[in-house]
């Protein structure tokens, strides 16, 4: 990925400022728009990504994510309240996530490379729950995000975003 397509971290969420940082990347033989369409349709995540549950939009917004969109969902066994704080179709999206003891920032960057799309996802976490999760299962989030990328590629490849 080029410097222009790296994560734009909000204040306080740079990887060196957080006890938890996970980075996953995957090249997909698909057009960026097909991947984007699946990624922003959060209401369908539970049907194709086994670590997403009970996605509910706040304020009557949805089924697609958009700038300022608020949604609640369950992932890694924890219910999270999220707000989309970066939205630049079809290349960048990022949301925060909050609950007691946990504050996260999760970002995605999609870079078109000919017939391929390079998909980068990174997440940083702060709070006692983040530190506890890292201590108990240090590679759990990396494995979960690798699965998310794999499932995203399959879903986007099926052509039904």
How does DSSP classify residue 63?
S
In the structure encoding, which two tokens stand for residue 92, read together?
A: 């960048």
Give, in words, the CATH class of 16-158.
alpha beta
The mean pLDDT value for 90-101 works out to 95
Residue with token string 């399959």? 154
Average pLDDT, the chain: 91
Helices (H) and strands (E) in the chain, counts: 4, 7
pLDDT in tens, 104-151: 999 999 999 999 999 999 999 999 888 888 888 778 889 999 999 999
Chain centroid to CA 25 = 12
Q: Is 132 strand, coil or helix?
A: helix
Q: How far is CA 135 from CA 17, 101, 122, 141, in A?
A: 17, 15, 19, 12
Question: Sorting pLDDT into bands at 50, 70 and 90, what band is 6?
Answer: confident
Give the domain ranges of the chain.
16-158
Position 2 scores a pLDDT of 52
What percent of the chain has pLDDT above 90? Answer: 80
How does DSSP classify residue 58?
S
CB atoms within 10 A of CB 105: 23
Of 89, 85, 109, which is closest to residue 97 (Cα–Cα)? 85
Length of the chain: 161
The mean pLDDT value for 50-56 works out to 94
């Amino acid at each position: 990925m080029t410097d222009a397509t790296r994560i734009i971290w909000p204040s306080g969420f740079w990887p060196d400022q957080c006890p938890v940082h996970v980075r996953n990347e995957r090249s997909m033989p698909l057009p960026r728009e097909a991947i984007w369409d699946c990624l922003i349709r959060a209401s369908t995540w539970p049907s194709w990504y086994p670590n997403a549950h009970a996605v509910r939009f706040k304020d009557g917004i949805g089924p697609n994510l958009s700038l300022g969109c608020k949604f609640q969902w369950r992932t890694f066994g924890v219910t999270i309240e999220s707000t989309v704080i970066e939205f630049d179709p079809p290349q960048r999206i990022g949301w925060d996530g909050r609950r007691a003891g946990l504050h996260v920032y999760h970002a995605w960057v999609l870079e078109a490379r000919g017939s391929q799309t390079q998909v980068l996802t990174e997440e940083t976490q702060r709070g006692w729950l983040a530190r506890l999760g890292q201590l108990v299962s240090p590679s759990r989030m990396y494995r979960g995000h690798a699965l998310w990328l794999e499932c995203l590629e399959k879903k986007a490849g099926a052509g039904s975003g």
